[in-house]
Chain A
Amino acid sequence: MSWLGIALIVIGLFFLVVGSIGMLRLPDVFSRAHALSVTDSLGALFVLLGLAVYEGFNTNFLRIIVVLGLIYLLNPVIAHATVRAAYRSGLRPGKGDDQ
């Protein structure tokens, strides 16, 4: 069971690294928000699920699942609020940083 957890953690780390590369390389706020929210949620899903499986099926499993559900509730809300604020304050997607 612990090897399954380690495999899940490694997959999640891969997604987190890909999200960080996107955060470094992408041209404007909207594409960066896309890279952050999507890959970050998936990476956190795999890493936390791997930790929960590694812990075994007891109360700690349920606690980690609760944190995971909290991340999945809050991360899209924050990304949506930030991108909405960026759009309303005059930035437009597809034009790069210097508009």
Chain B
Amino acid sequence: MSSFFLFVLTTLTVLMLVYLYRVVRGPTAFDRVLGLNGISTKAIVLLVVIGTTFDRVDMFVDISTGYALLNLVGALAIAKFLEERGEERQ
């Protein structure tokens, strides 16, 4: 059963690499914000899977809740800042 959870963890990490490609490559700043949002959603799921693997769901769920709230604050601040400033054209 733990090999299945190892498979799930590996898949989520590979998906996070895909989103990281979008963050590094993304043509506009909004692509980078969206990629970071996707990475943080995967990280929330990843933390709960880690908690299930190690039988400590009660602790890891609290960590993932904090991660979700921090992600909300950061993404909203960046979006608000870019909305005021506008996209820089290169």
Interface residues of A, Cβ cutoff 8 Å to B:
2, 6, 9, 13, 16-17, 19-20, 23-24, 29, 32-33, 36, 40, 43-44, 47-48, 51, 54-55, 59-60, 63-64, 66-67, 70-71, 74-75, 77-79, 81-86, 88-91, 97-98
Nearest B-chain residue to A62, judged by Cβ: B61
A selection of 5 A-B contacts at a CB cut-off of 8 Å is A20-B18, A32-B22, A86-B28, A89-B86, A98-B27
Q: In whole Å, how far is B9's beta carbon from the nearest beta carbon of chain A?
A: 11
Interface contact A23-B37, CB-CB below 8 Å: no
Interface contact B44-A82, CB-CB below 8 Å: no
Give A81 to B80 CA distance when docked, in angstroms.
8
Interface contact A40-B18, CB-CB below 8 Å: no
Instruction: From A13, A66, A84, name the one whose CB has the most chain B CB atoms within 10 angstroms.
Output: A13
* A98 proximity list for chain B (CB < 8 A): 27
A60 with B58: in contact, given A51-B52, A82-B79 (CB under 8 Å)?
Answer: yes
Q: In whole Å, how far is B20's beta carbon from the nearest beta carbon of chain A?
A: 11
Give A57 to B12 CA distance when docked, in angstroms.
25
Interface contact A81-B79, CB-CB below 8 Å: yes
Give A33 to B23 CA distance when docked, in angstroms.
13
Interface contact A23-B18, CB-CB below 8 Å: yes
Interface contact B31-A44, CB-CB below 8 Å: no
Interface contact B61-A63, CB-CB below 8 Å: yes
